[in-house]
Structure 1
Amino acid sequence: MSPVSSATDDENPLPLAGPHWDIWEVSIEGGGLERAPRGAAWVKFDGAGHASGNFGCHEFRAKADIKGDTVTVRDRETLPGPGGGKNCDARHLDYEKDVQRVLNGKLKITTNYSWVNLTDSRGSKLVLHKNRPVPLVGSEWTISKLDYSDEEWGIGDRAPGIGRVYFVLGEDGTFHGSFGCNDYRGKADVGPETIKFSQAEPITDKRCSKAVMDTEEEVRKRFDQTVGYKLGPDWLTASTYPYHNLAIGFVAGAKPKS
C-alpha cells in the first residue's frame, strides 16, 4: 500500500531534501506499481542542488534542483556499487533499469506524510518512503537471510526456534553478537567496500538442537572471510569478495536509534 496523494503537509509541504528515501515502488507510463526487491534502491536529495543514492545495483550522483513542487534531475553519473554490480540478479537489474528511466529530468512531487511520489511527464513514477539511515559501525544488525550462490533462505527456515542472529561492528576493529545459539566475538576490518571478518570464536558454550547448531555453523562461515557489502538506509547485504558462483553471504537489517 502506498498512501501517496496530495502535496500538502501543514508542517513541511515538500520535505524532499534531507532524509534517505527508499525507492519503494516504480510504475512505468501509468502501468501497475512494481514493488522493489529487498535492498533495491534509494535516493537522497541534499537540498543544495545535488542527489545521490543507489539504483539497485549501481550507485549514482546527479544535480537535482528542487523548485516548488518539482525536482529536476540532470547530469546524472552512474558509479559502480560494491562488487561492481556483480552480486545483482536479473530481478534487481530489471528494477534498476526502470528506476534509471524515471529518475531523470523534471519530476512532479506529491507528498503524504512519509511517502512521496515523483512523476514524469509520461506518467511514470517512483514511490519513495522516508527512511532514516543507520550507521554501519555500532548498529545491531539482525541477520534475516542466508545465501549460497543463487539460493537464498530465511534464517529460521531450516532451524525452527533459532534465537536471534545478529552482530555489532565495533570502532576498535572487532565484532560481537549471537549466531543463533552461542554468542561470538571476532575481528572485523571495515573498509569502504569490504569487511574482512576473522577469528570468529564462541564466548559461550550452549548446546542447542542439531538444526540450530548446523545453522549457527553456516552463519559462522560467513564471518570467516572477506565480504563485499552493500549498505542501504536500514539494510545490509554481504557476500564473498571477490564474488564467485559459490559465494556465501547474508542479508541483515537494523533499526535507527530513537
Structure 2
Amino acid sequence: MAMRKQRMAVSVLAVLATLTLAACGTESGSGAESGDSGDSGDGSGTVRTEPSMTGVHWNVSSLTVGGKKTAAPAGAHVEIDSEGKATGNLGCNRFTADVSLDGDKVTVGRGTTTGMACAKDVQQFENAMGKAFHGELTAAVSGRSDEKTLTLTTAQGDSIALSSEPPAPLAGTAWKVTGLVSGSAATSLPAGAEGKAHLTFGKDGTVEGNLGCNSFHGKATVSGSTLTFGPLASTRKMCPGPEMELERALQGVLEGRTTYGIDHRSLSIEAESGKGLGASAPAAEG
C-alpha cells in the first residue's frame, strides 16, 4: 500500500509539472498563442508589423520620382477606409480608387478622378502622383499615434511622403464659413462676401465671430450632435449688399436648435428649417 501511495504522489507531481510548463509556454509575449508577438510563422522569428493606414487623413507632403523631390500642392491628401477604398485629392482634382492591404503591401487599382483644369505645375504634380499611387506599393509608418508619417514606395524606388493630420475639434477652432445650404442644395457665398464670416466655439458654451458684416457673441450649448444657440448679440454697422445678404442668411441658421457634424476639418450646421452652412478649419500646424 505504501508503494502504491508513493507511485500516486509521483504521478501527481508529474502532471503538475506538465501543467506548469504548459502555462509558462502560453504567457503573454511568449508565443503566437498570445496574439501579441506578431511572429511571421515562417520559422525565422521575424516580427511582422501591420502599419495602421486606414481611417487616417494623410496629407501628401512630397513626391520623389527619379530622385527628384517635389513638394505637394496644398490640399493634396489620401484617405483609406476599412472597406478597401481610397479617396482624396491630387492637388486640384479629387480621386477614388480600389485598394487592398496585406501587411506592408498596398495595392492600388484603377480609379477615377474629376476633370477640373489645373495650373500647369499642379497638373504636372497630379500626373506624377497618379502614376506613383498605382499598383503595388510598400508602406512604412512611423511616429506616434497622433502624429504619424507614411511613406509609400513603388517597385521602381519612387516614393510618396505623407503625414497624418488630426480632425479639428469643434471648440477652439476658428471655423471659416465657406458655403450655404438650403435643404439638399448647397450654394457658394454671395460674390464679394467670401472670407468675411467665421465663428469660434468656446469650451464654456460660448460662440463668437463675424456674420459677414457685424461681429457677434452668444451662447451655444452642445449635446451630442445638437447645437442650441441662444440669442446672439452683435454690432450694428451697415455693409455692402453681399455682406448683409450673407449676414441675414447666417442669422437664420445660428438660432435655436441645430444639428452639426464634423468631417475631418469641415463643419456643417443645419437649422430645423433646413437652412445651413458649411465651414472649414485651417490646416493643422506641423
Normalising by structure 2, report the TM-score.
0.47
1:221–1:121 Cα change, 3 Å: farther
SS for the counterpart of 1:253 is coil
1:99–1:18 Cα change, 3 Å: same
State the AA in 2 paired with 1:203: S
Native 8 Å contact 1:142 1:254 kept in 2: no
What corresponds to 2:111 in structure 1?
Answer: 76
What corresponds to 1:57 in structure 2?
Answer: 92
What corresponds to 2:8 in structure 1?
Answer: none
The alpha-carbon deviation at position 71 of structure 1 amounts to 0.1
CA distance in 2, matches of 1:165, 1:220: 9
CA distance in 2, matches of 1:94, 1:255: 26
The alpha-carbon deviation at position 139 of structure 1 amounts to 6.3
The partner residue of 1:34 within 70, 88, 94 is 70
What corresponds to 1:196 in structure 2?
Answer: none
State the AA in 2 paired with 1:60: F
Does residue 102 of structure 2 align to residue 67 of structure 1? yes
What corresponds to 2:282 in structure 1?
Answer: 253
Normalising by structure 1, report the TM-score.
0.51
What corresponds to 2:250 in structure 1?
Answer: none
SS for the counterpart of 1:141 is strand
Structure-to-structure mapping, 1:130-209, within 5 angstroms: 130-134=164-168, 140-142=174-176, 166-167=198-199, 177-178=209-210, 182-183=214-215, 203-205=234-236
SS for the counterpart of 1:93 is helix
1:235–1:89 Cα change, 3 Å: farther
The alpha-carbon deviation at position 118 of structure 1 amounts to 0.3
CA distance in 1, matches of 2:87, 2:282: 21
CA distance in 2, matches of 1:222, 1:96: 37
| Residues matched between the structures, number | 171
State the AA in 2 paired with 1:204: T
The partner residue of 1:115 within 146, 149, 153 is 149
The alpha-carbon deviation at position 60 of structure 1 amounts to 1.4
SS for the counterpart of 1:96 is helix
The alpha-carbon deviation at position 94 of structure 1 amounts to 2.3
Identity percentage over the alignment?
28
CA distance in 2, matches of 1:43, 1:26: 13
Larger Rg: 2
The alpha-carbon deviation at position 142 of structure 1 amounts to 4.8
What corresponds to 2:161 in structure 1?
Answer: 127
CA distance in 1, matches of 2:138, 2:211: 46
1:63–1:183 Cα change, 3 Å: same
SS for the counterpart of 2:121 is helix
The alpha-carbon deviation at position 47 of structure 1 amounts to 2.9
The partner residue of 1:46 within 76, 81, 88 is 81
Kindly report the root-mean-square deviation, in angstroms, between the aligned alpha carbons of the 2 structures.
4.5
1:115–1:93 Cα change, 3 Å: same
CA distance in 1, matches of 2:124, 2:245: 28
What corresponds to 1:101 in structure 2?
Answer: 131
Q: Which has the higher contact order (CA 8 A, sep 6+)?
A: 1
Structure 1 spans left out of the alignment, 5+ residues: 1-9, 144-154, 156-163, 170-174, 186-201, 207-215, 225-230, 237-250
53-62 or 100-109, larger mean C-alpha shift: 53-62
Does residue 125 of structure 2 align to residue 90 of structure 1? no
State the AA in 1 paired with 2:101: I
CA distance in 2, matches of 1:97, 1:37: 13
Structure 2 spans left out of the alignment, 5+ residues: 1-46, 178-194, 202-206, 218-232, 248-261, 268-279
The alpha-carbon deviation at position 182 of structure 1 amounts to 4.4
Native 8 Å contact 1:23 1:126 kept in 2: yes
Does residue 62 of structure 2 align to residue 25 of structure 1? yes
Structure richer in helix, relative to its length: 2
1:184–1:255 Cα change, 3 Å: farther
